[in-house]
Amino acid sequence: MENRESKYLRAKERVEELKKFYGNLTSYIFVIGVLAIINYFTNEWRYMWFLWAAFGWGIGLVFHALKTFNLNPFFSKDWEERKIREFMDEEEKGGARWE
């Protein structure tokens, strides 16, 4: 049985992950917005170079969101915990070693 303190620590870690993601998202929106404004005033959209920065940073932001919101069905926390329990059960039963 989990105690209240360990639940609190996990909830606190989750809140920290969310804060980091939302901080990253806010920075992305602000910086890309400023770059778009600079791009517009320097060449009036003849070449939209700010999209390169938006695309590159956006890829990182997508992966950050996948991790933060546990959207990866293959390697989520639940999957990790299930595998750990599975290996521990095998070890207790004297089954195959996974080393």
Residues 60 and 94 in one domain: no
Question: Does 99 score more than 80 pLDDT?
Answer: no
Domain count, the chain: 2
The CA distance from 15 to 13, in Å, is 5
Residues 58 and 88 in one domain: no
Question: Does 97 score more than 70 pLDDT?
Answer: no
Residues 34 and 45 in one domain: yes
The CA distance from 67 to 63, in Å, is 6
Model-level pTM? 0.72
Residues 56 and 9 in one domain: yes
Domain with 89 in it: 71-99
Handedness of CA 8, 11, 15, 16 (dihedral sign): positive
Percent of residues, the chain, with pLDDT higher than 90: 59
Residues 56 and 76 in one domain: no
pLDDT tens digits for 59-70? 999 999 998 988
